[in-house]
Structure 1
Amino acid sequence: MRHAILTVGVLAAALATACHRNDNDAASTPPASSTMAGAPAAPSTMSPAANATPPKADAQMQAVLDQLAKLGGKPIETLTPDEARMQPSPADAVKALLESQGKPTTPEPVAKVEDRTIPGAGGPIPIRIYTPEGKGPMPVVLYIHGGGWVIANLDTYDASPRALANASGAIIVSTHYRQAPEHKFPAAHEDTLAAYKWVLANAAKLGGDAKKIAVVGESAGGNMAADIAIAARDQKLQAPVHQVLVYPVANNDMNSPSYVQNANAKPLNKPMMEWFVKHTFDNADQTADPRIAIAKRKDLAGVAPATIILAEIDPLRSDGEALADALKAAGVDATVQKYDGVTHEFFGMGAAVDKAKDAEKFAGAQLKKAFATP
């Protein structure tokens, strides 16, 4: 399941790495408007676009969505977490599409790929290290997958770190984390911060440059990557030189323009996000935690510069836009790149979607630029 959405990681994190590569298809009727916290929200002021017909996927993206539908997945919000983790993912759809087109389905080659475990807050954490061609010491990136804190794993999100390693020339350490509902919020945040501290302490042993470390996350993983940048400042850790946040969960407002516009989108939609929240938090009020509703924070000054990559057809698009505004208001350099005609989970689909390949290259270029800055 490259997908199990989500991340995608708690609702604001990318309910994805996120939130979400195990997304399903079947359209669902969106529930009454609500905040993540579940309380009725005051009517929000929507831009005309928010009430317009939902945007349409371009031909390449639609081909992936059509293939995902053919795989017969059930709506995640109707399943148990264990059942959801077994559903076909967007990554599966990409592979099936490539097969139907007679194209190779082998993963993008990287010079060296190694699976390991590292100590975590609640026990060993699986990681996968991708080392590209070249001579060290290389920059190092901690990559955090999506999945709404509930689904997905290192295999689901294998394509993104491969592409990032080659595009950035950096060693990518892709980390897993404890997932809900077995381990509820903030377990995943604790594990990913532990992984960042491990990278700081072990970069040189990996052939990396300990002074050039960045963080990247998708969906829920984007949320946790952003939180690492904040924790590094607050705990006086070495700061990442850059943070790349791909459609991050960054707010707890399910009445935002993009939630309204994409309430029934595929592969991520509003009912799925509500399902992630239900399984990740002890109660919906926890989504107001500043580690989730990052865009509402007023203390973002001094965190690492950010690149925020967004998809047009995504409930989380407004989260990323709001986070960019909050960072800029705090004096933090934030670059936003939005791709029209594509959906949540498009990043990492470079083998089948040209805009995904463009986004991967853009993220790599932004990282290279940050690593080259004295």
Structure 2
Amino acid sequence: MALRLRGRSFLHGMIVLLALAFSACNDDDGASPVTTIMPKGPKPEWGPTIKPEMQTVIEKLDELSKGVPLYTLTPQQARLAPSATDAVMAVMKDYNLPMPTPLVDTTGQRIPVAGGTIRVRIYTPKNAAASNPGLVYYQGGGWVIANLNTYDPSARALAEQTGAVVVSVQYRKAPENKYPTAHNDAFAAYRWVRDNATALKINAQRIAVAGESAGGNLAAAVCLMARDASVPLPVHQLLVYPIARYDMTTPSYAQYATAKPLSKPLMQWFFDKYLNSAADGASPLISLVNAPNLTGLPPATVINAEIDPLQSEGQEYAAKLKAAGVAVTSKVYAGVTHEFFGMAPVVPEAQEAQALAAAELKKSFQ
């Protein structure tokens, strides 16, 4: 996780320092930086198809975390552990890869939810018009870990590539806040964006939702909650390797039980921290694939990673949405793991997935 120092994130500081370092390290002859990224070790047993760039990031994450699994830590310790984003930053430094020029402005604020407030970060494209598409983005982290900085690369990329104002939501985390707190916070944030669209430079008729992992689950759940509460629906739902099942008996759980950075033991740890009991796992807001009615939901883009315990359930939910008459675009990216979506500076498949997501969102924004 990104550390905090006097209100500013350590990760943000690293971005600035690395950008300066990269600009200072250019050769006088204008030679381009090294771009061939290769891992140090053999392919892991859990991922024989893993791509070199993806493996390099996983190796770096292992190095930063000293091989300590998150599920052996307390939630408080896990929130301070190195993240996949930290690993990408370290790989970029190792290979002298330049930071992209920021194309959005960011502001932060707190918004009201039942029982308190939560933080959001607003990404506004530079020179934005008075009325733009909007995207409410929900971070991953199993409803337990991660923060706005951890998933900054994804939210920033979506804003830059779609021209939408992205509102990234830091919902309250478990175990301090059990189910359904994160789900209620997610829905409250969606309603807040709708209610404050004009001030955010957002067209209230062109708001979509998106999320990764637990955030993908929340984005899908917000669509169900909005439909059932007769609240205007999002125009699109971008679901990136969403949690869509409580049981862990799917083919991808069997095949990738020990994968990194997400494994079967870590998913069990997340469920144990967020759910009050196994009965919560049966809720259609957790087990999306068991929702009794998926009709009338907005078009969906479902993105999965091959080397990921959540692959099967993500594709199952995509199939069930399609069977219910929902327009669905879905793709499984080969050779990559959970968390790959935000790794575009290093992992080519992340660039491809972001381009697909942006293209599908822009269709719905028209």
When the two structures are superposed, what TM-score results if normalisation uses the length of structure 2? 0.86
Q: Which residue of 1 aligns with 2:23?
A: none
Counterpart position of 1:285: 279
Question: What corresponds to 1:68 in structure 2?
Answer: 61
Q: 1:200 aligns with which of 194, 208, 213?
A: 194
CA distance in structure 1 between the aligned counterparts of 2:192 and 2:46, rounded to whole angstroms: 46
Q: Show the counterpart of 2:42.
A: none
Pair 1:352 & 2:346 matched: yes
Shift of 1:203: 1.1
Alpha-carbon distance in 2 for matches of 1:330, 1:116: 38
CA–CA distance in 2 between the matches of 1:229 and 1:291?
10
For the pair 1:115 / 2:134, whether they are aligned, the reply is no
Structure 2 residue 361 is matched with structure 1 residue 367: yes
- Deviation string 1:192-230 (CA, Å, 9 cap, x unpaired) is 100000011011111111110000010000001001111
Q: Which runs of 5+ in 2 are unaligned?
A: 3-44
* Paired residues for 1:156-235 under 5 Å: 156-235=150-229
TM-score (ref. length: structure 1): 0.84
Give, in angstroms, the shift of residue 324 of structure 1: 0.8
Q: 1:328 Cα shift?
A: 1.3
Tell me the equivalent position of 2:268.
Answer: 274
Q: Mean Cα displacement is larger for which, 229-238 or 67-76?
A: 67-76
Closer/same/farther in 2, CA of residues 96 and 54 from structure 1, 3 Å limit: closer
2:320 maps to 1:340: no
Cα pair 1:297 1:326 within 8 Å, conserved: no
Answer 1 or 2: higher relative contact order, Cα 8 Å, separation at least 6: 1
- For the structure 1 residues 55 and 298, does the alpha-carbon distance in structure 2 shift closer, same or farther, using more than 3 Å as the test? farther
Runs of 4+ in 1 over 3 A off after TM superposition: 52-55
Q: Could you tell me how far apart the structure 2 residues matched to 1:317 and 1:108 are?
A: 33
What code does the residue aligned with 2:213 have?
S
Q: Which moved more, 1:148-157 or 1:115-124?
A: 115-124
Higher-Rg structure is 2
> In the alignment, residue 236 of structure 1 is paired with which amino acid?
S
**In the alignment, residue 116 of structure 1 is paired with which amino acid?**
Q
Supply the distance in 1 between the matched residues of 2:48 and 2:142 (Cα, whole angstroms). Answer: 23
SS in 2 for 1:204: coil
> CA–CA distance in 2 between the matches of 1:355 and 1:210?
32
Task: Determine the C-alpha separation between the residues in 2 that align with 1:111 and 1:288.
Answer: 40
8 Å contact 1:149–1:276 — kept in the other structure?
yes
Distance in 2 (alpha carbons) for counterparts of 1:88 and 1:183: 23
Give the 3 Å change call, closer, same or farther, for CA 108–147 of structure 1 in structure 2: farther
CA-atom RMSD in angstroms: 1.6
**In the alignment, residue 180 of structure 1 is paired with which amino acid?**
A
CA contact (8 A) 2:46 2:256 kept: no
Q: 1:330: Cα distance to partner?
A: 1.0
CA distance in 2: counterparts of 1:70 and 1:278, whole angstroms: 27
1:131 and 1:171 in contact (8 A); partners too: yes
Could you report, residue by residue, the CA deviation over 1:145-193 in whole angstroms, capped at 9, with x for unpaired residues?
A: 0000000010111000100001111000000111100010100001010
Aligned residue for 1:205, secondary structure, equals: coil
**Counterpart position of 1:302:** 296
Residue pair 1:268, 1:315 contacting (<8 A) in 2 also = yes
Q: Give the Cα separation in 2 of the matches to 1:281 and 1:123.
A: 20
For 1:298 and 1:54, the matched residues in 2 are separated by 35
Contact 2:46 2:259 in 1 (8 A): no
Q: Give 1:253 deviation, angstroms.
A: 2.2
Task: Measure how far apart 1:282 and its partner are.
Answer: 1.6
Q: Quote the Cα distance in structure 2 between the aligned partners of 1:369 and 1:361.
A: 12
Answer yes or no: is 1:130 the counterpart of 2:116: no
**Deviation of 1:284 (Å):** 2.3
Q: How far apart are residue 233 of structure 1 and its match?
A: 0.8
Query: What is the CA distance between 1:107 and its match in structure 2?
Result: 6.6
Could you say what secondary structure the match of 2:341 adopts? coil
Output the CA distance in 2 between the equivalents of 1:205 and 1:225. Answer: 23
Q: Which amino acid aligns with 1:205?
A: A
| C-alpha displacement of 1:111 | 2.7
Aligned partners of 2:181 and 2:115: how far apart in 1? 8
How many angstroms does 1:100 deviate by?
A: 0.6
Deviation at 1:275, TM superposition (A): 0.6
Instruction: Name the residue aligned to 2:92.
Output: 98
Quick one: structure 1 residues 152 and 107, their matched pair in 2 at CA, closer, same or farther if it must change by over 3 Å? farther
**Secondary structure in 1 aligned to 2:342?**
coil
Q: Report the count of equivalent residues.
A: 323
